[in-house]
Chain A
Amino acid sequence: GESVGLHLPTLSVQEGDNSIINCAYSNSASDYFIWYKQESGKGPQFIIDIRSNMDKRQGQRVTVLLNKTVKHLSLQIAATQPGDSAVYFCAENTPDNYGQNFVFGPGTRLSVLP
């Protein structure tokens, strides 16, 4: 399949270490945020989401932090594994007259080193 993100920022981590992927979002009115993982040749896969009335949410091995003051979102992956290697996108949803305005960030490539 087609490779995604050949020229994206890359984060390289050792297997077993924790990873932190950051995202700056653009609209202070955004009220819903999602992190997606995309492997080469596949569609984005939902990882975790958070709404604007929260500042932290935890899943299995993943944590999302939301700082509305500086419009910053981060994804933390604990004990990073080779299978975590992919491109990670944050997405923000802003309510508008149509009900939604869903915008993806540019993405970060996570490379897990053995």
Chain B
Amino acid sequence: GAGVSQTPSNKVTEKGKYVELRCDPISGHTALYWYRQSLGQGPEFLIYFQGTGAADDSGLPNDRFFAVRPEGSVSTLKIQRTERGDSAVYLCASSLLSSSDTQYFGPGTRLTVL
């Protein structure tokens, strides 16, 4: 596609539920990133994929968070047993080859945990 797309644009869930957030990167981009952005702050790094593998998952806050990219294109961020503190905008970005290339961001998914 023309840019990075993310679905859904908004997700409202109840505490304790499981959610999946999807990212479609720019076609041909090898690297994919997930960030979390809370109100009034800059994006916070979560995880970085090179192809199908997670090259760096050091930003995932705990084991309730998991992400996959099984075919090296679309990625899914999965959050188990959601908590109110998980409420944020979840941003996805992709770059051509690596983190030394410019990252292009999607519009984000706004997650609200009630």
Interface positions of A (Cβ within 8 A of B)? 1-8, 32, 34, 36, 41-46, 49, 89, 91, 93, 98-107
> Which A-chain residue is minimally distant from B9 (CB atoms)?
A1
Indicate if the CB atoms of B102 and A49 lie closer than 8 Å: yes
Question: B44 interface residue, CB < 8 Å from A?
Answer: yes
| Chain B: interface residue total (CB-CB under 8 A) | 30
Q: Provided the pairs A43-B4, A49-B102 are in contact, do residues A107 and B110 lie with their beta carbons within 8 angstroms?
A: no
List 9 A–B pairs whose Cβ atoms lie within 8 Å, in order of A's numbering. A6-B40, A7-B40, A42-B108, A43-B4, A45-B105, A98-B48, A99-B56, A100-B99, A102-B99
**What's the Cα separation between A79 and B99 when bound, in Å?**
32
Q: Provided the pairs A99-B55, A102-B33 are in contact, do residues A46 and B103 lie with their beta carbons within 8 angstroms?
A: yes
A89-B42, A101-B56, A107-B42 given; name 9 further pairs at CB < 8 Å: A2-B89, A34-B102, A44-B91, A46-B104, A49-B102, A93-B99, A99-B99, A100-B55, A107-B40
Q: Return chain B residues, CB-CB under 8 Å to A41.
A: 107
How many whole Å from B10's CB to the nearest CB in chain A? Answer: 9
Question: B2 interface residue, CB < 8 Å from A?
Answer: no
**What's the Cα separation between A5 and B84 when bound, in Å?**
20
